[in-house]
Amino acid sequence: MIISSALLFVWFLQNKQTKAPEDLTIDAAITRINNKDFKKADFGESHVEFTDKSGNKFITTIGSDPIRETLLTNITEFNKANSTSPVETTEEPKSNGWGWLLLIQILPFLLIFGFLAFTLRQMQAGGNKALSFGKSKAKLLNNQQKRVTFKDVAGVQEAKEELQEIIEFLKDPQKFQKLGGKIPKGVLMVGPPGTGKTLLAKAVAGEANVPFFSISGSDFVEMFVGVGASRVRDLFDQGKKNAPCIIFIDEIDAVGRHRGAGLGGGHDEREQTLNQLLVEMDGFESNEGVILMASTNRPDVLDPALLRPGRFDRRVMVGRPDIKGREGILKVHTRKIPLDENVNINVIARGTPGFTGADLANLVNEAALNAARLDKKVVTMADFEVSKDKVMMGAERKSMVLSDEDKKLTAYHEAGHTLVGLKVPQADPVHKVSIIPRGMALGVTMQLPESDKHSHTKEYLTSQIAILMGGRIAEELFFGDANVTTGASNDIERATDLAQAMVCEYGMSELGPLTFGKKDEQIFLGREINQHRDYSEETAIKIDEQVNKIIAKQYGYAKELIESNSDALVRLAEALLEYETLGSVQIRRAVAGLPLENDDESPSSDDDGSPEESKNPFKKPILPPITGNNPATA
């Protein structure tokens, strides 16, 4: 298309700049020959082009051979009489006549016609072409694509069983229909990001021998009004033509949000699209054999009409995997990776509580990249440990050089976290402490829960607050109140959030089992725009008092622990300054005043992994919900 346009432009430019030859009759041509006006005559098959002494060109048409011979005779006689200024004559072969001239003349029009035909064909084609914006963008999975099966999915056994039943229904509907059962019309998969919802849908497509259409929730709505509803209709029309089939909508919250909550009101384009989706799922027309699957990590924003039975009959929870699930996921992702004999998948699984399937896939990939970077032939346990540190704490900032004073401050700060973590009750065991700068932190103290936790006691939460305060207290006691740093800002923020959650959400204060400040912000509005306060000013003062009381109590408790164990803290800080990173065994030996040269710690207290390769493993902690899964950082 670009080449055609360029040729057209050049052709028109040349035609515009070139002066057309002037027509000349035969008699006028003979007269001008005798007047010595011409210096050249080019004889073609049907014309003669004369060139005068000024370079101007003239065309004389010759319709028959006698006229041609007459002109040649006149020029020959003229040249005999005027040998000093003869007329030069040339004669073109007869085969190079009007055909080339005709082609040159019609070529631009052929290019224009071809360009218009190509454009029209593209506009009329399906998919996402110009005139098909009302057509569905759903992709039909074909047999040539790489298939994902349930063998490639691990860690979500209950979800697999729920979806396996739907596949069996599609393959053998009589098994269920003879007992009066009906195939579910819709399945909604709900869970945090990275837990494998989309992968499960791909596995269903690979297992079920029926057409599988996939589309994203954001593919429905565009700039044109009515496009979303049109695409929904077209999507279900395709489904009906290929029934029985499965339609999968990824991230359905992009189109299925609660109606009436947006700034656009009832005329919002998303609402029109959602209304059409509701009608297609369970309206007057039957969609027998069309199963709708969808995934979301925000079920709270979906419209209630979308979630009712008859539309989404089944809701499948896809949560974070437990230790067995993590082990299965790691085995799936390490199938094609050459592992060293010392790699213990069970150890890695136990050391990664709270990891999702996506986290574990990234962990394995980073380990393989690290082994390749070091020109290894197999991936070792040490590569997995480096990968954990990089994934969870960030890459080491090797270019960042800390002064001796900053290093000492960081060492005492992290030693404060660590010492309090060892002394408070119900706290997760301190597993690793480091003063190597990573990411945004100058140091990090890691805690490893002994098992997966799903709820937390009041004592556990208060212990977390004490641990968070340990860094600031160590700075204050050993360097003076005037030399405390901003390194504890994140610790203070997280401790305050946790104390507020204990008072306002968990009912763990003297105010009793009450909740304050309902989270009922509008679906399309952020918390900053719409905040709801359901308590009085007097109650707000009491809430602040309770938060301050919890923080002050744990601050005092942590300060008392550090003051009574100051010698142990000094030993721990000095060990950090010497070794920079300490494992759990080294931490206990430093506190006890024992030498640290040989740390034969394995990844777990009773594991059989290689001690040297798996030294100082990092395990992700599970902290209270209000603070997420971030480690206590400097």
In a 13 Å sphere around the CA of 490, the CA atoms on its Cβ side amount to 14
pLDDT score of 621 more than 60: no
> How many other C-beta atoms lie within 10 A of the C-beta of residue 139?
15
3-state secondary structure 89-135: EEECCHHHCHHHHHHHHHHHHHHHHHHHHHHHHHHHCCCCCHHHCCC
162-217 pLDDT, tens digit per residue, is 888 888 887 787 888 788 877 788 899 999 998 888 888 888 888 887 888 888 88
Determine the Cα angle at 433 with ends 427 and 438, to 5°.
Answer: 120
pLDDT score of 363 more than 90: yes
What does the buried/exposed string (b/e) look like for 470-481 if buried means 16 or more CB atoms within 10 Å of the residue's CB? bbbbbbbbbbee
The catalytic position among 162, 251, 271, 414 is 414
Taking all residues of the chain, what is their mean pLDDT, rounded to a whole number?
79
**Residue 365 has what pLDDT?**
93
The Cα 420–Cα 416 span in angstroms is 6
**Residue 182 has what pLDDT?**
79
Residue 545: phi, psi to the nearest 5? Answer: -65, -40
Q: At 82, is the pLDDT very low, low, confident or very high (cuts 50, 70, 90)?
A: confident
**Residue 6 has what pLDDT?**
62
Rg of the chain over Cα atoms, rounded to whole angstroms, equals: 41
With beta carbons less than 8 A apart as the criterion, state whether 138 and 280 touch.
Answer: no
pLDDT score of 139 more than 90: no
Share of the chain above pLDDT 90, in %: 23
Q: At 99, is the pLDDT very low, low, confident or very high (cuts 50, 70, 90)?
A: low
Find, among 590, 623, 626, the residue nearest to 446 by Cα: 623
What does the buried/exposed string (b/e) look like for 214-236 if buried means 16 or more CB atoms within 10 Å of the residue's CB? bbbbebbbeeeeebbbbbbbbbb
pLDDT score of 629 more than 50: no
Q: At 101, is the pLDDT very low, low, confident or very high (cuts 50, 70, 90)?
A: low
204-259 pLDDT, tens digit per residue, is 888 887 888 888 888 887 666 667 788 888 888 888 888 788 889 988 988 888 87
**Residue 524 has what pLDDT?**
47
**Residue 163 has what pLDDT?**
87
**Residue 467 has what pLDDT?**
94
Tokens of 509: 């204060």
**Residue 546 has what pLDDT?**
95
62-75 pLDDT, tens digit per residue, is 766 777 777 777 87
**Residue 190 has what pLDDT?**
92
Q: At 367, is the pLDDT very low, low, confident or very high (cuts 50, 70, 90)?
A: very high
20-62 pLDDT, tens digit per residue, is 677 777 777 778 777 777 778 877 767 778 888 777 888 877 7
4-17 pLDDT, tens digit per residue, is 566 556 555 555 54
pTM (2 d.p.)? 0.66
The Cα 380–Cα 357 span in angstroms is 21
Beta-bridged to residue 91, according to DSSP, are 43
pLDDT score of 293 more than 80: yes
With beta carbons less than 8 A apart as the criterion, state whether 414 and 433 touch.
Answer: yes
Percent helix, percent strand, percent coil in the chain, to nearest 5 = 50, 10, 40
**Residue 525 has what pLDDT?**
46
Tokens 């697999």 belong to 160
Tokens of 540: 């707000």
**Residue 218 has what pLDDT?**
82
- Name the more confident of 606 and 107: 107
What's the whole-number mean pLDDT along residues 257-262? 72
The Cα 468–Cα 501 span in angstroms is 16
With beta carbons less than 8 A apart as the criterion, state whether 184 and 166 touch.
Answer: yes
488-517 pLDDT, tens digit per residue, is 999 999 999 999 999 999 999 999 998 887
pLDDT score of 548 more than 80: yes
Q: CA end-to-end span of the chain, whole Å?
A: 60
Q: Is 414 a catalytic residue?
A: yes
397-456 pLDDT, tens digit per residue, is 777 777 888 889 999 999 999 999 999 998 888 888 888 888 778 888 888 787 778 889
Using DSSP's 3-state secondary structure scheme, residue 292 falls into strand
**Residue 94 has what pLDDT?**
52
**Residue 14 has what pLDDT?**
54
106-136 pLDDT, tens digit per residue, is 878 888 888 788 776 765 554 444 455 556 6
Distances (CA, A) of 511 to 457, 499, 533, 625, 626: 18, 13, 17, 21, 19
**Residue 126 has what pLDDT?**
47
**Residue 393 has what pLDDT?**
73
**Residue 503 has what pLDDT?**
94
Find, among 56, 22, 20, the residue nearest to 38 by Cα: 56
**Residue 309 has what pLDDT?**
86
Peptide bond into 353 cis (omega under 30): no
**Residue 617 has what pLDDT?**
34
Determine the Cα angle at 411 with ends 410 and 412, to 5°.
Answer: 95
Share of the chain above pLDDT 70, in %: 79
Q: At 464, is the pLDDT very low, low, confident or very high (cuts 50, 70, 90)?
A: very high
> How many other C-beta atoms lie within 10 A of the C-beta of residue 337?
14
With beta carbons less than 8 A apart as the criterion, state whether 253 and 216 touch.
Answer: no
